[in-house]
Chain A
Amino acid sequence: MRALHSSMISRDPASLAQSPDAIKTELDFPGSLHAKFTNKLNIVDPSLINPLDIYRVVGVDGNQLDTSFDIDVDKPLAQKMYKDMVTISILDTIMFDAQRQGRLSFYMVNAGEEASAVGSASALKPEDNIFFQYREAGALLHRGFTLKEMMSQLYANKDDYGKGRNMPVHYASKKLNIHPISSPLATQLPHAAGAAYALKMRGQDAIVICYFGEGAASEGDFHAALNIAATRSCPMVFFCRNNGYAISTPSLEQYKGDGIASRGVGYGIDTIRVDGNDIFAVRRATQQARELALKDQKPVLIEAMSYRIAHHSTSDDSFAYRSKREVEDWKRKDNPITRMRKWLEIKGWWSEEAETELRASTRKEVLKAFSSAEKVKKPKIKNIFDDTYEELPEKLKAQRKELAEILDTYPDHYDLSHFENGREGLEEDK
């Protein structure tokens, strides 16, 4: 119950009563207790308010700009962070092509946002719970999700934790406290608030982090989540990846205000905007946000600015709505991976040879995981029915029997050879 009572918003209804003298002086409206009266009419023009600054630690050339602190990343950690970003970019290329060859039904790439994912994940503790949107593979990898686990999910084989039920990139891991990804956008935001409240009730030294894009922030669940997280003082971090596009919709058509960060302030939430291409800015902001969320038991919002270099997904050709030149410019101008590489080189922790070696060995690793996962059988077909409820209701037992009858009557109409135990895999073994 640590810090529970002190941080909970409690308003004694009696405190809203006006003192006898109040009528003579000024009234406190219950809806805004601290606002002052003014005799000057002023409709607030948001365009006259300066946009929130973008926090940076390391510049495009790899040099440290915020010198007020020492970057607390030693050589092994730095090299792991770099390797994770590179692995994701290699994985993306291979899986994108695999999807194009029809070996995978769907894939979503991360290009341009590797630093947001890896940088923020590097600031978390294993006991922190994570709710992802879907474009945060770097965080998954950095936390310890293996390439084999990823491939099992992508191929929906029998080792997949989701038992082959979910579309590719909808990862989950109980042991890593990563909640199962779902396609509906922003639904995970209020979940994260509820989960953070559970941690708070248990007095656990852990927070929840919740990732989402700037497009998802237009959903009603974004509003619902920030408001309830603030009023219930939930220890959590809202992490927004503002990459400029929601599929084809540019942020200019997504909102009129100062991005997502300005809204955090409106909900009474501590907020910071960071350079999403700067892995150290992301890491430091997340570290501090985590600390604040834990110490004061309250939510913090981080808006990481970046650019979605990748297509939205394998079902999207982004050159239908933006120019190749725009994308090429972005790639050339700034890129989270090259920026970190420059920093590593300045430190003397990286070289051309190390780069060549890393890329070759990672490629080999990815291809190996890829081809092994492809060969693994699909899960048992009983998984069609299992886990719908905690226990299989009578009606589902009856429907499973109906399917068995169909499979036995028309054995040539369905191919069960890819599934573990084939036809037998339908039978109950729980």
Chain B
Amino acid sequence: MLSQLRSVVATRIPRRLYSSLAIPQASPNHISFSDAGFLSQSSAQTLRSQELAAQPNVADGTTKSMNLFQAINDALRIALETDDSAIFFGEDVAFGGVFRCSMGLQEHFGQDRVFNTPLCEQGILGFGVGYAAMDATAIAEIQFADYVFPAFDQIVNEAAKYRYRGASEFNAGGLTVRMPTGAVGHGALYHSQSGEAYFAHCPGIKVVIPRSPIQAKGLLLASIRARDPVIFMEPKILYRASVEHVPLEDYELPLDKAEVIKPGSDVTLIGYGTQLYYMEAAARLAKEELGVDCEIIDLRTISPWDRETVFESVRKTGRAVVSHEAPRTNGIAAEVAAEIQSECFLSLEAPVQRVTGWDTHVPLMYESFVIPDVTRNFHAIKKAIEY
């Protein structure tokens, strides 16, 4: 929807005064989040997926076209239905949530299980840790990933360490924290952040970022049921824009596996979330203009991440580009690049390229120059090839 808006604006108003910048239609960065090659456009395509086909109830089941927020909503409904101890809470979730992810849940499950909390992130997380510590399932929502920092202590010192300090007799593994993340076109400093690296540095918690509706539902259900605390970050620009045919049944996707979403032989592109859309478009451009065949890997679980899938690919291609929206210094790409050079040293034909946000904040009017778009991913592929 956002991209449609952008195209309308771009054609009608040459110089835009609204507080976000239109991307020229001719630019390769003018992409739509609904036509990425990895999105499942039909029921048949969805059911062909090997991962989904392995789950009996999905293989015979039906699918429905859903966008990302609807897939999240579906997963939450199933999670609450299949686990009597599960509760869902956060700021403004009762009426359906500011991104519509919890629509209809309070009506269906009652206000004891789906409820608003006071506006206090450390309280939401602390409450969730205590609820989960009673061997129950707590699903918390932080309204924007930008506002999770007041709860940082509860996540890092409490949720992450509860099992370790309680020697597994106690744990807060029933806790899942959902939060919208990433740039959205006009979110500026506090509605754009990608804070995954802060959490990926912390042992004891898992960090998961889905790329699409099918992924969001399967990974969220697995996260909620995992007995480790999970930070589940939902790219908010995809809530309405990313649409695919999602199985209606209850299914899970593994939290310890990256996924090769496009096989290739020349360069390995590694990313997650929104970034995969830019990388996929860049790979298409690289094919057209340079004849380069890219392999694309979706990490899915950022921490602990699936090293073997990445190493296997890089040993084959000899080149790697790691991309994320978050700032470069000490970002996820730093970790992935360091491990690649340590494990694939003899296979590497070029230095590992990092395509990331700059080490700045996300400024309102300049967002399109800060996020690592198609152009910058393409440039990195070119550099890796021409090295």
Are B126's CB and A187's CB within 8 A?
Answer: yes
Q: Is the interface of B mostly helix, strand, loop or mixed?
A: mixed
Interface size on B, residues (CB 8 A): 51
Interchain nearest-CB distance for B127 vs A (Å): 4
Are B307's CB and A174's CB within 8 A?
Answer: no
Residue in A closest to B131 when the chains form the complex, CB atoms: A194
Complex CA gap A182/B138 in Å reads 21
Q: Which of B111, B165, B170 has the most CB of A within 10 A?
A: B165
Are B165's CB and A194's CB within 8 A?
Answer: no
Interface size on A, residues (CB 8 A): 52
Judged by a CB distance under 8 angstroms, whether B133 is at the interface is yes
Judged by a CB distance under 8 angstroms, whether A83 is at the interface is no
* A-side contacts of B113, CB under 8 Å: 201
* B-side contacts of A166, CB under 8 Å: 165
Complex CA gap A197/B134 in Å reads 10
- Interface residue from A161, A192, A389 paired with B130 (Cβ < 8 Å): A192
Q: Tell me the chain B residues, 136-172 only, with Cβ under 8 Å from chain A.
A: 136, 138, 150, 153-154, 157-158, 161-171
* B-side contacts of A10, CB under 8 Å: 111
**Interface 1/0 per residue, B294-337 and A, CB below 8 Å:** 00000000001001100000000000000000000000000000
Interface stretch (choices A111-119, A138-146, A225-233): A225-233
- Interface residue from A5, A191, A198 paired with B126 (Cβ < 8 Å): A191
Judged by a CB distance under 8 angstroms, whether B122 is at the interface is yes
* B-side contacts of A390, CB under 8 Å: 163, 168, 171, 173, 226-228
Are A394's CB and B167's CB within 8 A?
Answer: no
Are A389's CB and B117's CB within 8 A?
Answer: no
Are B154's CB and A187's CB within 8 A?
Answer: yes
* B-side contacts of A193, CB under 8 Å: 126-127, 130
Are B123's CB and A180's CB within 8 A?
Answer: no
Complex CA gap A224/B123 in Å reads 5
* B-side contacts of A197, CB under 8 Å: 87, 127, 130-131
Are B131's CB and A387's CB within 8 A?
Answer: no
Interchain nearest-CB distance for B122 vs A (Å): 5
- Interface residue from A129, A165, A220, A395 paired with B134 (Cβ < 8 Å): A129
Q: Which of B118, B122, B204 has the most CB of A within 10 A?
A: B122
Q: Tell me the chain A residues, 186-203 only, with Cβ under 8 Å from chain B.
A: 187-199, 201
Are A189's CB and B126's CB within 8 A?
Answer: yes
Judged by a CB distance under 8 angstroms, whether A162 is at the interface is yes
Complex CA gap A401/B307 in Å reads 16
Complex CA gap A242/B268 in Å reads 60
Are B136's CB and A172's CB within 8 A?
Answer: no
Are B161's CB and A394's CB within 8 A?
Answer: no
* B-side contacts of A8, CB under 8 Å: 111-112
Complex CA gap A410/B313 in Å reads 35
Complex CA gap A162/B158 in Å reads 15
* B-side contacts of A225, CB under 8 Å: 123, 126-127
Judged by a CB distance under 8 angstroms, whether A170 is at the interface is yes
Interchain nearest-CB distance for B346 vs A (Å): 19
Complex CA gap A195/B170 in Å reads 12
A sample of 16 inter-chain contacts (CB < 8 A) reads A180-B165, A184-B153, A190-B125, A190-B154, A194-B133, A196-B130, A197-B131, A198-B131, A201-B113, A221-B123, A227-B120, A228-B127, A387-B167, A389-B204, A395-B304, A395-B307
* 6 smallest beta-carbon distances between A and B, as pairs: A190-B126, A194-B130, A224-B123, A191-B130, A198-B134, A194-B131
Contacts beyond the supplied A195-B131, A201-B112: 15 A-B pairs with Cβ under 8 Å: A5-B112, A8-B111, A131-B130, A179-B170, A190-B125, A191-B158, A197-B87, A201-B113, A221-B154, A224-B120, A224-B127, A227-B120, A228-B127, A383-B167, A388-B163
Binding site for A on B (CB under 8 A): 85, 87, 111-113, 115, 117-118, 120, 122-134, 136, 138, 150, 153-154, 157-158, 161-171, 173, 203-204, 206, 226-228, 256, 304, 307-308
